[in-house]
Amino acid sequence: MNTMSLPDLVHVDTVRKNYTGPAGDVTVLKGVSLTVKPGEFVGVRGPSGSGKSTLINMITGIDRPTSGAVTIAGTRIDTMSENTLARFRGLKIGVIFQFFQLLPTLTVLENTLLPMEFCRVWKPRERAERAFALLEQVGLTDQAQKLPNTLSGGQQQRAAIARALANDPPLLVGDEPTGNLDSRTADRVFQLFADLVAQGKTFIMVTHDNELAARIPRVIQVQDGVLLEGHEHHASEYRAYSANGHVVGESHGLSGAGHAMSAPAASTPSAA
């Protein structure tokens, strides 16, 4: 399907972000603009201090721009009140963190259920069914009743992914979601992301990992608070792989802002 005709899911319009700290004023983003279509898999790269995490924070609403506008699914979020934004984010954006950020005293299942309770989506009986389905999707049904500190890093990140999917948001955002994982596990988790994109989710992630970046269809380069012109690249041959090495989706290099992959074959959840 050609997503070029779909309205933008993410629209960042001339966003500037300044911080005032003990060391003085710093401009982290200098009038950045970006659009992401539904179903895109977008990577964000750049050296430390380049502003990539700040850009992600603008998109998730975790931070607000000094000037400019951020629109998600047609709704401007940078002017929303905190409460409205929290609810919007719970419903529309699934955030995956580098350090997992699971609530330590809730089990994996309970962490997954929590966003549904906060946002009051799904009937109570349906919530548990859905949570189990999400855990199955990420391969954690056997760990549903365990507490986060008994899980490996990869398992925790998969639990965090299940939580991010709890309210079926159209957009998923990860800030270095594989940064705390070994390469093998990172690969498996990445595969999960690819599977989700194949299922129609839009995914934006910050990554330092060159290998993983090479597998992302569209990668944006950030440096010194600006998106570098001509440095956005699209994988010429992007393939999504299943855990057993089978190709489950591929794209062929196209220039332009972005495009969806071809519909993937049915995939089994990878076990990271």
Partner 1 sequence: MGLAFRKIWRDMRNNLGRTALVVASIAIGVLALGLIVAGRTLMARQMIVSVTASHPTTLQLSVSPPIDDATLRMIRRQPGVAGARGVIYSGIRWKPTPDAEWADATLIAIEDFTTQTYDLITLREGAWPGTNQVVIEHSHVAPYGPPPIGGMLYVDVNDRAKPLALAGVVRDPKAIGPPFTSQPTFYLTRDTLANLGRSDRFNSLQIEVADFSQERADALQHSLTTRLEDLGVAVTDAEITAPDRHFLQDVMDGVTMILTVMALLSLGMSTILVINTINAILAQQVPQIGIMKTIGGLRGQITGLYLAGVVIYGLLSLLIAMPVGAYGGWALARWMMDLINVTVSDFEVLPSMLGAQFVTGLIVPVLAAFWPVVQGVGISVREAVSQYGLGTGNYGSRWIDRLLARVQGLPRTWSMALRNTFRRMSRAALTEVTLIGAGVIFMMVISAQHSFESTLAMIFRGFGYDVIIGFTSWQRIDRVTPILEAQPNVDRVELWQFANAQTRRPEDPATVADRELLVRGIPRDTELFTPELTAGRGLLPDDDRAILLNQDLAGEMGVAVGQRIELDFGDGPAQTWTVVGLIYDLAGRGRTAYLYRDILARDLGFVGRGSVAEIRLEANSLGAQLEAERELRQALEAQGIGVGFTETQLVARGEAGAQFGILTTILLIMTALIGLVGAIGLSGTLSINVLERRREIGVMRAVGASSLDVGVVFMGEGLLLGVASWVASVPLAVVAGQWFVRNLNETIGFNGAYYFAEHSVWIWLAIVVSLSLLASWLPARRAAGISVRESLAYE
Tell me: does residue 74 bind partner 1 (CB under 8 A). no
For the CB of residue 62, give the shortest distance to partner 1 in the complex, in Å. Answer: 5
Tell me: does residue 213 bind partner 1 (CB under 8 A). no
Tell me: does residue 132 bind partner 1 (CB under 8 A). no
Tell me: does residue 174 bind partner 1 (CB under 8 A). no
Report the distance separating Cα 261 and Cα 267, nearest Å.
Answer: 15
Residue closer to partner 1 (CB basis): 164 or 240 = 164
Cα angle 98-183-201, degrees, rounded to a multiple of 5 = 55
Report the distance separating Cα 64 and Cα 79, nearest Å.
Answer: 8
**How many residues at the interface with partner 1, by CB under 8 A?**
36
For the CB of residue 21, give the shortest distance to partner 1 in the complex, in Å. Answer: 8
The sign of the CA dihedral 207, 42, 140, 243 is negative
Query: 46 Cβ partners below 8 Å, 6+ apart?
Result: 52, 221, 222, 223
Residue closer to partner 1 (CB basis): 113 or 196 = 113
Report the distance separating Cα 46 and Cα 58, nearest Å.
Answer: 16
Which of 43, 68, 115, 154 touches partner 1 (CB under 8 A)? 115
**H or E segment to which residue 33 belongs:** strand 24-36
Question: Which phi and psi (to 5°) does residue 213 adopt?
Answer: -60, -35
Tell me: does residue 103 bind partner 1 (CB under 8 A). yes
CA 62 to chain CA centroid, Å, is 13
For the CB of residue 76, give the shortest distance to partner 1 in the complex, in Å. Answer: 18
Tell me: does residue 83 bind partner 1 (CB under 8 A). yes
Which of 138, 166, 194, 219 touches partner 1 (CB under 8 A)? 166
Q: What number of other Cβ atoms are within 10 A of residue 255's Cβ?
A: 8
**Interface residue list for partner 1 (CB under 8 A):** 21-22, 57, 60-63, 82-83, 86-87, 89-91, 95, 97, 99-101, 103-106, 110, 113-115, 117-119, 149, 163-164, 166-167, 180
